[in-house]
Amino acid sequence: MSAALLVFSMMAVTSCLAQEDFSYDGENGPYNWAKLFPTCGTRQQSPVALDTSEAVPEKTAPRLHWKFWSRRPTWQQLHNNGHTAMLHSKWREGEDQPLLWFTGEKERYTFGVVLFHWGDRYNSGTEHTLNGIRYAMEMQVVMYNTKYDDLESATKQPGGTLLMAYLFQEDESYQATALERALSRPLNFIRGAGTGVRLRRRWPLAALVPRLSAGYLLYNGSLTVPPCTPVRAVLVDLLVHDVSDEQMESFRKLRNEQGEYITHNIRPLQALNGRKVVIGGYVN
């Protein structure tokens, strides 16, 4: 085992974003989620098909502030919960943690978790589609309102979380970024459901999560996994990022609780039901 990595079993680990009694196939699959989790059947669900030509101009969109995103966490772990890969980060108690908020609002959101969705091919992995295109992978960053003690408490409350989504296209000639370097080796150690790896090199969120500098699409939506709780907002980066085909193959080698490869952990598109999508910018 590498000195830079500590592999451990996650037998006792559960997650507020990992309801055990759902799947992406069969009787517990997405088309039956509303029967198992009533909130999944409400009208403002995610993901949705996004079209920049139909979005409302930027002047109506709230702008964003980011703070403390360069702070290095004291602990970071990548975990396979049987549905997806999840990146957890912790900071010292009492230390300033990454914050995000909208201009003119008092509510502050801090980091909760990063999770990933992918498919078995380069055009079947994102939950959201952008201008009719589905890409290889979607990274979702879940932030939670600081008035709640933790992510688990926040996800039980409508509007308690905020979701940022980043779309990735598969590119065989891609030059690795910090995100790819952070995940490339750890993914090999979490192939079994319930396993995790602690990263001895701790990455600040600023190195892993883009700041939406190209703008974003914003709409009222929900978490895309049960219990599908409504979020304060969903923000989808307008810039499509790159991921190597090697890293995508590493994601596709992860297995679920049944020992099967996880190759399509995406929820089908949900109806917009008259919701407005706006184009926004950002503020440092």
User: What is the rounded CA–CA span in Å between residue 54 and residue 70?
Assistant: 35
- Confirm whether pTM is higher than 0.85: yes
pLDDT digits (tens, 9 = 90+) for 236-267: 999 999 999 999 999 999 999 999 999 999 99
Q: Which two tokens stand for residue 55?
A: 């979005």
pLDDT digits (tens, 9 = 90+) for 93-148: 878 899 999 989 999 999 999 999 999 999 999 999 999 999 999 999 999 999 99
Burial class for 105, CB neighbours closer than 10 Å (0-12, 13-18, 19+):
exposed
The CATH number given to whatever domain includes residue 217 is 3.10.200.10
pLDDT digits (tens, 9 = 90+) for 169-222: 998 777 788 999 999 999 999 999 999 999 989 999 999 999 998 899 999 999
> Is the model's pLDDT at 16 over the cut of 50?
yes
Domain span at 86? 5-280
Number of domains in the chain: 1
